[in-house]
């Protein structure tokens, strides 16, 4: 029998020598890559600390000015929207800091202001620009946003779209305060389309899932009307 040439396993020393040889040939390239990564990391950190954070803080200051007018005893929605020399409006926050959390929230408020002033087209546009946020307080805002989009759709007599928005509002914040309110609105929008069975299902859900809610008593009356 002829002997077959069998490669002997590479020793640890040989492997180390190959590693050293690689770095001898490519050390400068590896060093450049490493330094480049450090520079990128420093830029990211610097960008966040020197640019992003100040923008977030400035946006928060500006939206506070607009919110003060929005939440006044006699709110001026046009002023809260547009701002003036004495303070920023929600549109200013969006234009200058639209990518910040405050800029995102300003889109929601701007939609409300347009709705309150009767501009349904811009109300729908700005409410739709708002991106849902995380957390329990955020869930309530998300639900309100979907609910207001449903209200706009009702004003535009697009009841099918309104139902979808109200259903999203219920899913966004499933609680005894807001969910039954949006279920009631969804039922009314279904009735407006002649969908009595779907409307009844909304009212029944209020009674079974949210019996302690303020809408439960009214749901009984609405259910009676929907099933006649």
| Token pair 């969908």 in the structure block, residue | 195
Separation between Cα atoms, residue 52 and residue 83, nearest integer Å: 24
Of the chain, the percentage scoring pLDDT greater than 90 comes to 58
Mean pLDDT of 37-44: 49
| Spatial distance between the Cα atoms of 41 and 153, rounded to a whole number of angstroms | 47
Per the CB < 8 A criterion, the answer to whether 146 and 111 are in contact is no
pTM here is 0.76
Neighbour-count burial of 212, counting CB atoms closer than 10 A to its CB (0-12 exposed, 13-18 middle, 19+ buried): exposed
User: Is residue 191's pLDDT more than 50?
Assistant: yes
| CA angle 175–181–183, rounded 5-degree value | 90
pLDDT tens digits, 80-138: 999 999 999 999 999 998 888 889 999 999 999 999 999 999 999 999 999 998 887 78
What mean pLDDT is predicted for residues 216-223?
86
Asked if 100 and 133 count as a contact pair (C-beta separation under 8 A), the reply is no
pLDDT value for 104: 92
């Amino acid at each position: 029998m002829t002997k077959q040439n069998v490669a002997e396993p590479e020793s640890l020393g040989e492997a180390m020598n190959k590693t050293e040889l690689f770095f001898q040939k490519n050390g400068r390239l590896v060093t450049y890559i490493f330094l480049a990564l450090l520079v990128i990391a420093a830029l990211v950190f610097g960008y966040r600390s020197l640019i992003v954070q100040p923008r977030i803080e400035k946006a928060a200051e500006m939206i506070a000015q607009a919110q003060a007018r929005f939440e006044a005893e006699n709110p001026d929605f046009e002023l809260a929207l547009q701002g003036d020399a004495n303070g920023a409006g929600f549109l200013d926050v969006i234009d200058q800091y639209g990518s910040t959390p405050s800029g995102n929230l300003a889109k929601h408020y701007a939609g409300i202001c347009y709705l309150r002033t009767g501009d349904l087209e811009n109300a729908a546009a700005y409410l739709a620009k708002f991106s849902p946020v995380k957390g329990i307080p955020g869930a309530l805002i998300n639900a309100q946003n979907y609910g207001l989009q449903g209200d706009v759709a009702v004003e535009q007599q697009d009841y099918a779209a309104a139902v979808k928005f109200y259903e999203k509002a219920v899913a966004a914040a499933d609680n005894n305060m807001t969910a039954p309110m949006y279920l009631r609105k969804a039922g009314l929008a279904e009735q407006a389309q002649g969908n009595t069975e779907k409307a009844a299902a909304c009212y029944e859900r209020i009674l079974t899932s949210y019996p302690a809610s303020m809408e439960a008593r009214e749901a009984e009356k609405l259910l009676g009307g929907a099933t006649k």
